[in-house]
Structure 1
Amino acid sequence: MGGMINNVVVVLSISVIMCMNTMRLSYGAITRRSMEEIWRINKQGPFLGIVVPNAFEMNPLLQSPSFVQDSQLPYFDFGGRRFRFGKIGSEKVIITMTGLGMLNAGITTQLLINLFKIKGVIHYGVAGNANPNLQIGDVTIPNYWAHTGLWNWQRYGDGENDELALEANGDYTRKIGYLKFSDYYNLSKNGENLDNYLNRVWYQPEEVFPVDGVPEQRQHALWVPVDSHYYNLSNKLEDLELENCVNATTCLPRRAKVVKVERGCSANTFVDNAAYREFLRSKFNVSPVDMETAAVALVCLQQTSTPFIAFRALSDLAGGGSALSNEASLFASLASQNAVTVALQFIHLISSSKLDFGSFYVQ
């Protein structure tokens, strides 16, 4: 019943917007033509949304024989994004590329969910590796994701027992912890690290505003879980055979594997620094480190009814130090293909699963 009421609300909202389009089209409003196109598309839904960061990660999927593009409506362009329609097995899918970073990933995911009937979001790509027990080429499936780029930068002279700016207002917290720059200073006096004018940064949770919550009443989230049904279903991926060689002479030390891990993290920072990699691992117990997944997760969290999961293939040891020289450029294509292989197999699992994932859709 709730789903029917929400669908009626959507119909009324679209009707109001279409009536408004008798006026001049300006201020970034959705055109009547676009609204009609979206309406026709959604009559064929719901869809699985597949969100991919970059072209080199998306192209192997588009070129895969598993993806059959819709001959009547191959794509729809909106807001600088292209939404591609087709089927993978029996599943209707929409594939879209976000572009680099948290902002792009968040905007694209929000457009995908708001414009179309989406019953679940699958995100995949490559990532840096912070877990010494894993190797390049492995595909990770974290249970939780966090944005680790939201900081309160503490003034020089203050310490861990000093209140942060605006902490009393509830805007910031010291509960999560900090990175102290002088802990990584290579100069010392009498065996003690010298202090650093950069002092320390305290990690902060995101403010989220769930669609079923009170408008403008914030909640906070740091570790965002993937959908539990999706995560349980992904158990069947762990024996999947993955690519092991770039060419006849360049192969991984061991066969790549699918690994379920506890945590991954994202921020608008490409991590190519061993000290920070080790900090993220010791502080947060993360394995993949990337620049988009947490944004996708946070948008799906705010929608409350959108199942989400992410697959990130490890393309490099963040900051170097592995036995594989120049790993990022050498193994990126292999890692990308492995991520696509896992995503495709997961979609086939959804199709064959007895669980009705379509029942999660609420618009």
Structure 2
Amino acid sequence: MKKVTLIFLLLANVSLGQHYKPRPVTGLLGAFGAEVALVNQSLKKPKTVIVDGITFTTGRIGNQRVVVAETGIGKVNAAMTTALLLDHFRPQRVLFTGIAGGTNPDLQPGDIVIAGRTAHHDYGSITDKNTPTRQTRNALTKQFNPVYFPADSALLKVAETVVKGVSLEGIPLASGGVSNRPVKVMTGTVVTGDVFVASPTKVSSLRADFGADATEMEGAAVAQVCYQIQVPHLIIRSLSDRADAEAHIAYDKFYPTAARNSAKLVIAIVQALGK
């Protein structure tokens, strides 16, 4: 507990953001076991490291040293694991792999959204001038963060390039076959909140208020920590459902395929970074 307390004290201290010294390692995070297991299977010479009860697995993918961890579901869990990752391993970049609900009507389960930007859709505050804002406040600078946390431009470019050569799986049809519709991959907006969205009404509001292409429960929390510590990050999301009234049914059916697609892309990105 002492170390966890120390980490959050450090996060409130501007010196950490100014003096963060990265090591030649890439941090790979996922929300739950199925997502992380797919990445761990690709590791060479894996080694387990326990940090305050959180399991991190170090190893190599291609020529890249990586450290992999399961964050757990939700923004607090994601932020805590990200803080532990940054404090203990000092990665030079962080990639997040996982599934999401689609809010863009042109997308379906199995498709991928590379997050060009992420935002908290369930955050709001009133400023000292009684002006409402969706901006979080940076604990290091005491200034407002942007509403949308931008992905690292170099990582984004690598992802957009390598995905063209990744073999992605189509969603199985009820008849037992596989859809012949190509898997769509787009760079877009991913929004985060501590709620599993299964409502067409909520989907419409997320689309109207944020221009959201996908919604999930961890990405913006990871992005905010990385943004404040100035560590490059990228969030990759593959759709397991359309966040509508049938979301729970679609999620159970499609999340294995969605998780594999997201993990394949993240692994391909890491391999490309080592070339």
Fold shared by both chains (TM-score > 0.5): yes
Match of 1:219 among 134, 138, 144: 144
Give yes or no for contact 2:119–2:190 (8 Å, CA) kept in 1: yes
Match of 1:252, SS state, is coil
How far does the alpha carbon of each residue in 1:16-65 deviate from its partner, in whole angstroms, 9 at most, with x for none?
xxxxxxxxxxx6258xxxxxxxxxxxxxx5210001100011112222xx
C-alpha distance in 2 between matches for 1:255 and 1:103:
35
114 and 61 in structure 1: CA distance in 2 versus 1, 3 angstrom threshold? same
Match of 2:227 among 293, 298, 301: 301
C-alpha distance in 1 between matches for 2:204 and 2:255:
22
Match of 2:30 among 52, 64, 80: 52
Is 1:292 equivalent to 2:218 in the alignment? yes
Structure 2 counterpart of 1:51, which letter? L
256 and 280 in structure 1: CA distance in 2 versus 1, 3 angstrom threshold? same
The equivalent of 2:178 in structure 1 is: 251
How far does the alpha carbon of each residue in 1:314-355 deviate from its partner, in whole angstroms, 9 at most, with x for none?
000101469xx9321111100000001110111111112xxx
Unaligned segments of structure 2, at least 5 residues = 5-22
C-alpha distance in 2 between matches for 1:253 and 1:283:
33
C-alpha distance in 1 between matches for 2:215 and 2:156:
19
Deviation, structure 1 residue 105 = 0.2
The equivalent of 1:267 in structure 2 is: 193
Is 1:209 equivalent to 2:139 in the alignment? yes
Alignment RMSD: 2.3
Larger CA Rg, structure 1 vs 2 = 1
The equivalent of 2:256 in structure 1 is: 333
C-alpha distance in 1 between matches for 2:101 and 2:40:
24
C-alpha distance in 1 between matches for 2:234 and 2:91:
14
Counterpart mapping for 1:335-350 below 5 A: 335-350=258-273
Equivalent pairs, count? 256
C-alpha distance in 2 between matches for 1:29 and 1:333:
35
The equivalent of 2:208 in structure 1 is: 282
C-alpha distance in 2 between matches for 1:245 and 1:266:
24
Match of 1:220, SS state, is coil
Structure 2 counterpart of 1:117, which letter? R
How far does the alpha carbon of each residue in 1:122-173 deviate from its partner, in whole angstroms, 9 at most, with x for none?
1010000000011110111021100111135xxxxxxxxxxxxx54x25x63
How far does the alpha carbon of each residue in 1:78-107 deviate from its partner, in whole angstroms, 9 at most, with x for none?
122111010000000000110010000001
C-alpha distance in 1 between matches for 2:234 and 2:67:
15
C-alpha distance in 2 between matches for 1:132 and 1:245:
16
Identity of aligned residues (%): 26
C-alpha distance in 2 between matches for 1:118 and 1:291:
23
Match of 1:289, SS state, is strand
The equivalent of 2:82 in structure 1 is: 109
The equivalent of 1:97 in structure 2 is: 70
The equivalent of 1:67 in structure 2 is: 43
C-alpha distance in 1 between matches for 2:273 and 2:3:
36
Deviation, structure 1 residue 235 = 2.1
Match of 1:128 among 101, 106, 118: 101
229 and 207 in structure 1: CA distance in 2 versus 1, 3 angstrom threshold? same
Give yes or no for contact 2:109–2:171 (8 Å, CA) kept in 1: no
Structure 1 counterpart of 2:102, which letter? N
Structure 2 counterpart of 1:99, which letter? G
C-alpha distance in 2 between matches for 1:231 and 1:50:
15
Deviation, structure 1 residue 288 = 1.2
C-alpha distance in 1 between matches for 2:33 and 2:233:
21
C-alpha distance in 2 between matches for 1:82 and 1:337:
21
Deviation, structure 1 residue 117 = 2.5
Is 1:173 equivalent to 2:131 in the alignment? yes
The equivalent of 1:80 in structure 2 is: 53
Deviation, structure 1 residue 232 = 1.6
Structure 1 counterpart of 2:94, which letter? V
Give yes or no for contact 1:147–1:265 (8 Å, CA) kept in 2: yes
Unaligned segments of structure 1, at least 5 residues = 1-26, 31-44, 153-165, 177-203, 353-363
219 and 238 in structure 1: CA distance in 2 versus 1, 3 angstrom threshold? same
The equivalent of 2:11 in structure 1 is: none
Match of 1:254, SS state, is coil
Answer 1 or 2: which has greater helix percent: 2
C-alpha distance in 1 between matches for 2:215 and 2:249:
18
Deviation, structure 1 residue 246 = 4.5
C-alpha distance in 2 between matches for 1:225 and 1:173:
24
